[in-house]
């Protein structure tokens, strides 16, 4: 563990009035959900074009089978120490918000109150024809291997997440841009920063004067613009940052 960098991040968080975290699939790998581009990523086994919206319309049964196999809620899936550390930072008044590219709901499950979901959420499925919304639990309770259909109009349902080729929810994107502009520390956690427009947010934050921190187990596309890069596992690094902050308060090095 690069402890000097852990202390450096704790110090930045201590000084900032508004820190924001942008999280990606890497924060949830320790919870048992694979990422896309990491060494064990989904794209080692599945062609990315399967996550294009046009593919859902052409092959809804196949896309639903994929979604259920990767993302269906399992009892074993729970927030890990990285999600919990971000929730703790928020309750300590050291984190304004989490902007997430994830669709798994694990930040909310860990107790984070302000979570901006850029790519939608697996809590719901939505009708591609009439827009009727269902909870995913309701849909999965009758799932039989074929794409579920709308009870009202018979249209194919879609998990309420953003597929490639679809726009991001405008309200969430606006909030994410505003938070990036306001942030004094902008932490990217578990994201390859390969997916636009989420990967523009660190640039917006940097342009508005934020210090950029990247915590990732491999290189990202924005390492060179970062002030601190910690190469490591989020579930190990983030609890250390919380510990370092608490130690700083106990020892009087930081203001509470």
Residues taking part in catalysis: 119
Distance from C-alpha of 73 to C-alpha of 141, rounded to nearest angstrom: 11
Distance from C-alpha of 199 to C-alpha of 192, rounded to nearest angstrom: 9
**Least distance from ligand NAD to the Cβ atom of residue 81, Å:** 10
Q: Which is nearer to ligand NAD, 160 or 248 (CB)?
A: 160
Residue 183, CA distances (Å) to 13, 197, 202 in order: 11, 18, 10
41 binds ligand NAD (CB under 6 A): yes
Q: Which is nearer to ligand NAD, 26 or 148 (CB)?
A: 26
User: Which among 3-11, 33-41, 135-143, 203-211 is the span making contact with ligand NAD, rule CB under 6 A?
Assistant: 33-41
Q: Site size for ligand NAD, by CB under 6 A?
A: 28
Q: Could you give the string, one character per residue 6-25, with x where binding to ligand NAD holds by CB under 6 A and - elsewhere? A: ------------------xx
Confirm if 202 and 190 have CB atoms less than 8 A apart. no
- Beta carbons within 8 Å of 244's beta carbon, 6+ residues apart: 6, 7, 9, 10
Distance from C-alpha of 236 to C-alpha of 29, rounded to nearest angstrom: 12
- Beta carbons within 8 Å of 38's beta carbon, 6+ residues apart: 25, 26, 29, 192, 217, 218
When binding is defined by CB under 6 A, the residue of 177, 217, 239, 246 that contacts ligand NAD is 217
Half-sphere exposure of 148 (CA within 13 A, CB side): 27
202 binds ligand NAD (CB under 6 A): no
**Least distance from ligand NAD to the Cβ atom of residue 20, Å:** 16
Confirm if 180 and 153 have CB atoms less than 8 A apart. no
Q: Which is nearer to ligand NAD, 240 or 254 (CB)?
A: 240
Question: 138 pairs with which residues across the strands?
Answer: none
191 binds ligand NAD (CB under 6 A): yes
Using left for φ > 0, alpha for ψ between -120 and 50, and beta otherwise, residue 180 falls in: alpha
33 binds ligand NAD (CB under 6 A): yes
* Residue of minimal Cβ distance to ligand NAD: 26
When binding is defined by CB under 6 A, the residue of 7, 11, 18, 30 that contacts ligand NAD is 30
What does the binding site for ligand NAD look like in residue numbers (CB under 6 A)?
24-26, 28-30, 33, 35-38, 41, 101-104, 119, 190-192, 194-195, 216-218, 233-235
């Amino acid at each position: 563990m690069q402890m000097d960098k852990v202390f450096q991040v704790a110090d930045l968080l201590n000084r900032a009035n508004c820190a924001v975290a942008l999280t990606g699939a890497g924060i949830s790998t320790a919870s048992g959900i694979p990422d896309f581009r990491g060494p064990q990523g989904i794209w080692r086994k599945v062609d990315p074009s399967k996550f294009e919206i046009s593919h859902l319309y052409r092959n809804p049964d196949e896309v639903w089978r994929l979604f259920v196999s990767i993302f269906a809620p399992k009892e074993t899936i729970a927030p890990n120490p990285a999600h919990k550390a971000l929730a703790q930072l928020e309750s300590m008044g050291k984190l304004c918000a989490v902007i997430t590219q994830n669709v798994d709901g694990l930040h909310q499950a860990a107790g984070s109150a302000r979570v901006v979901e850029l790519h939608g959420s697996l809590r719901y499925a939505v009708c591609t024809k009439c827009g009727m919304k269902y909870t995913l639990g309701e849909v999965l309770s009758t799932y039989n291997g074929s794409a579920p259909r709308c009870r009202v109009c018979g249209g194919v349902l879609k998990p309420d997440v953003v597929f490639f080729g679809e726009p991001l929810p405008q309200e969430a994107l606006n909030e994410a841009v505003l938070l990036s502009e306001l942030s004094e520390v902008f932490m990217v956690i578990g994201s390859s920063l390969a997916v636009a427009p989420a990967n523009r947010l660190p640039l917006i934050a940097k342009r508005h004067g934020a210090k950029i921190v990247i915590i990732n187990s491999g290189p990202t596309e924005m390492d060179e613009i970062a002030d601190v890069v910690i190469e490591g596992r989020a579930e190990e690094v983030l609890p250390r940052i919380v510990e370092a902050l608490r130690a700083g308060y106990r020892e009087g090095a930081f203001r509470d």
